């Protein structure tokens, strides 16, 4: 019997077994067996290319958020709640076997949310689809590390270790060192540790904001909830009881640090209801491209009101860096 058939047999048996105290133990065993076979589905097959298939999901929208966590912490339940995409959830591990994208619409922005298979210790060394999952995490603007509030803190440090072992630095700022290999010129713009210096030379580090989301708080006491909620970069939620999801969105928005730009036409008020949403550090040229493909080539100058300029308005060129909530009026040749 192949793995898929075995899985299907177990699923059928679970479906026809009544749920009660007497069958609880048996159901538990069945679910453990199911998780074992599903984990085997995640293992890269020997016949396929040595690297195994990646999860190639097109980047879309204004930003990308990856859901990373151990199996069965509630990642898929969360995706199904926050987006119009349904991702299958189940009370057994390794329900999700691939990358499932959804879109969160928030404050006029489209945020791509990626549900991923659960990862386990050893993921970075290729356990399960660990490598592929981590590769997707690298492409995100923010990582949501989803944790089961009923489980201990080791889950958090284990996952952090996995990500750090492949050069993903969470909630750390990139060391401000300028390094140009050709000339071998090094300029320390701040005090740095040897490790930080090595990171810059090796050059494959990514620095990423990470939000620790403790799910299933409906299962723990108020005191425990309170304790988790006070941890840095952490939010407590319950997908099951839809608790604190609004607050999580607010935090996520903050961590994404997107820049909202308002346009205005000459002699008119700014279009405050229709912001252009860009990544941090976006220039006037980025704004032009967003309005119309050919606008940058017809560009003469722009007037900008807001925190990015010394005067309001100020005449600026294409390379000027915009800041959050600036207003811009573009003047064509």
Which of 42, 63, 76, 170 binds ligand GTP (CB under 6 A)? It is 76
User: How big is the site for Mg ion, counted in residues (CB under 5 A)?
Assistant: 4
Q: Which two tokens stand for residue 5?
A: 């058939």
Least spacing, CB of residue 214 vs ligand GTP, in Å: 10
Contact between 283 and 302 under an 8 Å Cβ cutoff? The reply is no
Which of 10, 63, 96, 286 binds ligand GTP (CB under 6 A)? It is 96
Least spacing, CB of residue 98 vs ligand GTP, in Å: 10
Question: Which long-range contacts (C-beta less than 8 Å, at least 24 apart) are formed by 308-311?
Answer: none
Residue 74 touches ligand GTP, criterion: CB under 6 A:
yes
Instruction: Please identify, among the stretches 132-140, 158-166, 187-195, 210-218, the one whose residues bind ligand GTP according to the rule CB under 6 A.
Output: 210-218
Q: Is the dihedral of CA 24, 26, 32, 38 positive or negative?
A: negative
Residue 71 touches ligand GTP, criterion: CB under 6 A:
yes
Measure the CA–CA gap between 260 and 276, rounded to whole angstroms: 6
Q: What is the DSSP letter of 174?
A: P
Least spacing, CB of residue 262 vs K ion, in Å: 43
Residue 132 touches K ion, criterion: CB under 5 A:
no
**What residues numbered 75-94 form the site for Mg ion, per CB under 5 A?**
75-76
Which of 9, 13, 164, 218 binds ligand GTP (CB under 6 A)? It is 218
Residue 89 touches ligand GTP, criterion: CB under 6 A:
yes
Residue 219 touches ligand GTP, criterion: CB under 6 A:
yes
Contact between 127 and 166 under an 8 Å Cβ cutoff? The reply is no
CA 186 to chain centre: 33
Contact between 113 and 87 under an 8 Å Cβ cutoff? The reply is no
Least spacing, CB of residue 131 vs Mg ion, in Å: 18
Contact between 96 and 48 under an 8 Å Cβ cutoff? The reply is no
Residue 95 touches K ion, criterion: CB under 5 A:
yes
30 binds, among ligand GTP, Mg ion, K ion, none (CB under 5 to 8 A by kind): none
Closest residue to ligand GTP: CB criterion: 118
- If one counts every other C-beta atom within 10 angstroms of the C-beta of residue 27, the result is 17
Which of 14, 62, 64, 75 binds ligand GTP (CB under 6 A)? It is 75
> How far apart, in Å, are the Cα atoms of 201 and each of 109, 170, 174, 283?
36, 19, 13, 28
Residue 72 touches K ion, criterion: CB under 5 A:
yes
Instruction: Give the contacts of 48 (CB within 8 A, at least 6 positions apart).
Output: none
Residue 93 touches ligand GTP, criterion: CB under 6 A:
yes
User: Bridge partners of 262?
Assistant: 327
Instruction: Please identify, among the stretches 22-30, 87-95, 136-144, 280-288, the one whose residues bind ligand GTP according to the rule CB under 6 A.
Output: 87-95
Residue 90 touches K ion, criterion: CB under 5 A:
yes
Instruction: Please identify, among the stretches 74-82, 156-164, 236-244, 277-285, the one whose residues bind Mg ion according to the rule CB under 5 A.
Output: 74-82
Closest Cα partner for 215 from 133, 161, 151? 151
Q: Which two tokens stand for residue 52?
A: 């195994």
Instruction: Please identify, among the stretches 56-64, 128-136, 238-246, 318-326, the one whose residues bind ligand GTP according to the rule CB under 6 A.
Output: 238-246
If 0-12 CB within 10 Å is exposed, 13-18 middle and 19+ buried, where does residue 73 land?
A: buried
Dihedral, CA of residue 246, residue 249, residue 251 and residue 257, to nearest 10: -150
Which residues lie near Mg ion (CB under 5 A)? 75-76, 95-96
Which residues lie near ligand GTP (CB under 6 A)? 69, 71-77, 89-91, 93-96, 117-118, 215-216, 218-219, 238-240
């Amino acid at each position: 019997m192949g793995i898929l058939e075995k899985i299907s047999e177990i699923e059928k048996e679970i479906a026809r077994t009544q749920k009660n105290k007497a069958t609880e133990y048996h159901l538990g065993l069945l679910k453990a067996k199911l998780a074992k076979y599903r984990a085997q589905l995640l293992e890269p097959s020997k016949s396929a290319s040595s690297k195994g298939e990646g999860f190639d999901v097109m980047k879309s929208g204004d930003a990308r958020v990856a859901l990373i966590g151990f199996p069965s912490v509630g990642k898929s339940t969360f995706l199904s709640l926050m987006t119009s995409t349904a991702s299958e959830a189940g009370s057994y591990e390794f329900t999700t076997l691939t990358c499932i994208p959804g879109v969160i619409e928030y404050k006029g922005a489209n945020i791509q949310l990626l549900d991923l298979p659960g990862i386990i210790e050893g993921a970075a060394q290729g356990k399960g689809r660990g490598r592929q999952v981590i590769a997707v995490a690298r492409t995100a603007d923010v990582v949501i590390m989803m944790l089961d509030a009923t489980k201990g803190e080791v889950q958090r440090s284990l996952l952090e270790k996995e990500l750090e072992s492949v050069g993903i630095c969470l909630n750390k700022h990139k060391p401000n060192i300028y390094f140009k290999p050709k000339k071998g010129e090094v300029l320390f713009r701040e005090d740095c540790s040897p490790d930080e210096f090595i990171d810059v030379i090796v050059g494959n580090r990514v620095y990423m904001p990470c939000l620790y989301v403790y799910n299933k708080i409906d299962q723990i006491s108020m005191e425990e909830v309170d304790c988790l909620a006070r941890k840095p970069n952490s939010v407590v939620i319950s997908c099951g009881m839809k608790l604190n999801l609004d607050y999580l969105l607010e935090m996520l928005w903050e961590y994404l640090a997107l820049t909202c730009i308002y346009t205005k036409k000459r002699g008119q008020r700014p279009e405050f209801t229709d912001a252009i949403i860009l990544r941090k550090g976006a220039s006037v040229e980025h704004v032009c491209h967003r309005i119309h493909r050919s606008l940058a080539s017809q560009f003469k100058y722009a007037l900008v009101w807001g925190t990015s300029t010394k005067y309001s308005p100020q005449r600026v060129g294409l390379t000027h860096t915009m800041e959050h909530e600036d207003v811009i009026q573009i003047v064509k040749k």
